[in-house]
Structure 1
């Protein structure tokens, strides 16, 4: 995955998954713009990449506004001369059940995840089109956006919206040679420590103990570094023909999410009344109802 001469922006990359992405892109030759809201984290990430022989610069700003997106792209161009890859990773959590979630809880998550992705992608696309030669956009989604998750109305909505935007952008940008894909990682980070059945395994990892195979394979969760290879792959020439897709990665598992498809269809001349629907529902549609939430092996669930 030779990324020599490429320049990448990774939002939310001072620690966790974002830092793992930045280090992997730099290891493969890309110059990287590290972004975080915490100066110490951003500077520490840059120092780590530079110490390993890479090139990096920090931009300390919260994503969401057009001004922040403009600063990120301008820094990439002014420091390294161009922009080739954007990874939109920045995110926050404000988990609550819907009847306790405030407007502020909802807006904060939507602003960082959904609006932050939109504004950064828009700014990067303007640069890509000005440069010519295409580009790579990698938006970070989540299984919560694909399946839903208890207590995460705001986060699930934002992540589902990101994948929806990815599909649209893939169509809009194809002629310009710009690929757009989503990655839905599962890794041991501060954000997954809030999931009760994963917390003990994350604590074990902190003590240097390996994750059991059932977690790495069946749950598909591992370290942030386990999720970084797919970012370098999608940024590379090897992925030039891949666009509009949602990939899942974690631990030992790599998977491809399907797009929503019609699962059952029937027709009724003259349209459907409520009575018509009730009469056919059991035979035609009931067997095709899909579950919600992620389904995990019983062995890892709390007793």
Structure 2
């Protein structure tokens, strides 16, 4: 085993599938799971990209194979689980990371834009989760399912009706799975990552952080601490921990990770509860709703603080 694989290995002997793990966040998750001892099934739609990901894991002393498939269909989910069992004899961990974007505002978004994104993110999580749980239950494995959500699914983002719906739906499924899978000893959790990606690199607000990372420098503390914005590696540790036996009591949760920040998201709860004998007619709502709800209405979208002067683009100064 190479020097780079001499880490604490709580996942030794376990086998993981990471969908959409040819590059980016998914690759970081697969590499960290391997670093912690798991054998990994890498998945991508591009054979060369998947092969390169496998090679990167093997070069560090890990074990990996590739299953090239477009996540979404039941057939792809079956191929992934069978790939794990055929290559490594078992399956213990599923990370559903695969996803695509088709960003457009509502009136410009086509049926195909909507269906394509929902098929990969939401249906792909559903089919892979169902296939993995069937294996876990049949084999008596106290497995781990980790689905990747997004801040967009928590708050909403302009131009992402499809993506927001899929990511919010994933968290809803995870809460349901946690209930259904509990008796089998299987846990299901969602991770909400915030990290430098090809997408965030195009946003001027995040550019100083992404450019610092690309230069091999540490990101400014404002991004890492104040915004919880970091690298893919900053999220990978949480993925590995939730995949471990040690995390067996964490179930049905949505946990955010990015930069120096870790967040536990609440399940939606009412912030105002009031009663009216006989119910709430239009007239009563008209007379009383502002009294009860003004100042309590919930925000939509994420609101970022202004960039510190030293990080602002020159043209904005």
Relative to the length of structure 2, the TM-score reads: 0.93
Mapped to 2, the partners of 1:290 and 1:256 lie a distance apart of 18
RMSD over aligned CA atoms reads 1.3
After superposition, give the CA deviation of every residue in 1:145-186 in whole Å (9 maximum; x if it has no partner): 001111111111100000000000000000000000000001
Cross-structure match for 1:269: 277
Cross-structure match for 1:169: 177
Pairs within 5 Å for 1:37-76: 37-76=45-84
Of residues 214-223 and 164-173 in structure 1, the stretch that sits farther from structure 2 once superposed is 214-223
Mapped to 2, the partners of 1:63 and 1:241 lie a distance apart of 29
| Aligned CA distance change for structure 1 residues 196 and 100 (closer, same or farther; 3 Å) | farther
Mapped to 2, the partners of 1:195 and 1:176 lie a distance apart of 43
After superposition, give the CA deviation of every residue in 1:239-297 in whole Å (9 maximum; x if it has no partner): 01110000000011011011100000111111111121121112111121010111211
Q: Secondary structure at the match of 1:289?
A: coil
Cross-structure match for 1:191: 199
Q: Secondary structure at the match of 2:294?
A: helix
Cross-structure match for 1:285: 293
- Pick aligned residue for 1:180 from 185, 188, 193: 188
Q: Secondary structure at the match of 1:293?
A: coil
- Pick aligned residue for 2:111 from 103, 111, 128: 103
Runs of 4+, deviation exceeding 3 Å: 300-303
Of residues 212-221 and 66-75 in structure 1, the stretch that sits farther from structure 2 once superposed is 212-221
5+ residue gaps, structure 2: 1-8
Mapped to 1, the partners of 2:72 and 2:203 lie a distance apart of 26
- Pick aligned residue for 2:243 from 223, 235, 239: 235
Cross-structure match for 1:256: 264
Of the two structures, which has the highest relative contact order with CA contacts closer than 8 Å and spacing of 6 or more? 1
C-alpha deviation, 1:194, in angstroms: 4.2
- Pick aligned residue for 2:136 from 120, 124, 128: 128
Relative to the length of structure 1, the TM-score reads: 0.97
5+ residue gaps, structure 1: none
- Asked whether the 8 Å contact 1:141–1:185 carries over to 2, the reply is yes
- Asked whether the 8 Å contact 1:16–1:224 carries over to 2, the reply is yes
Cross-structure match for 2:5: none
Cross-structure match for 1:156: 164
Mapped to 1, the partners of 2:199 and 2:20 lie a distance apart of 13
Cross-structure match for 2:210: 202
- Matched positions, count: 303
- Asked whether the 8 Å contact 2:92–2:141 carries over to 1, the reply is no
After superposition, give the CA deviation of every residue in 1:13-66 in whole Å (9 maximum; x if it has no partner): 000100000010000100000000111110001001011111000011110000
- Pick aligned residue for 1:220 from 228, 237, 244: 228
1:24 and 2:32 correspond: yes
Mapped to 1, the partners of 2:226 and 2:236 lie a distance apart of 19
Q: Secondary structure at the match of 1:198?
A: helix
C-alpha deviation, 1:203, in angstroms: 2.7
Mapped to 1, the partners of 2:48 and 2:156 lie a distance apart of 34
Mapped to 1, the partners of 2:208 and 2:103 lie a distance apart of 20
